[in-house]
Amino acid sequence: MRYKQLSDKKENLTKHQEIVLELLEKANEPLKAYSILFNLSEHGVKAPLQVYRALDKLIELGKVHKIESKNSFVACINSNCKANSNTAFTICEQCDEVLEIHDKKIFKKLGDLANQGKSKLNKYNLELYITCKNCLK
């Protein structure tokens, strides 16, 4: 259970939200909504809408992030995450390992780049495709 310490602070989650979060915390890779549904059918989650509602709320709370390019979801590694719209990840092309990036310098640089064009950065989802150190061996 990779992220057990995070689920200790459940903040009045519904039953479905709680079991979706627990599944994502245990997962070793990003999960698609239908994979979540399949894995949780024995826990009373029967319809895709139940999964999508739970995911939407968990994203809103900053407990789950969506990997846009894979249309999949991961549990947030930071229980106090407020980055439900500004996220950055490395994604291994070999094993699908996803690591969340928390680097204020990178985030500031992204904002600075947008400001150079006299724009305002509203949100971003940065996904860097890599080969992780385990797959390089």
Indicate which CATH number applies to the domain containing 24: 1.10.10.10
Looking at the structure of the chain, the number of domains it has is 2
* 20 inside domain: yes
Asked if the structure places residue 80 within a domain, the reply is no
Same domain for 47 and 90?
no
Alpha helices in 15-124 (DSSP H): 15-26, 33-40, 48-60, 104-116
* Signed CA dihedral, 81, 83, 88, 89: sign only: positive
In a structure prediction context, what are the per-residue pLDDT tens digits for the chain, which is 137 residues long?
A: 344 444 445 568 999 999 999 999 999 889 999 999 999 999 988 999 999 999 999 998 889 999 999 999 999 887 656 665 678 899 999 998 999 888 888 888 888 888 887 788 788 889 999 999 999 98
Q: State which residues form the domain around 62.
A: 4-75
What pLDDT sits at residue 104? 84
**In the prediction, which pLDDT does 134 show?**
94
Does residue 56 share a domain with residue 26? Answer: yes
Given 50, 75, 100, which residue is the final one in a domain? 75
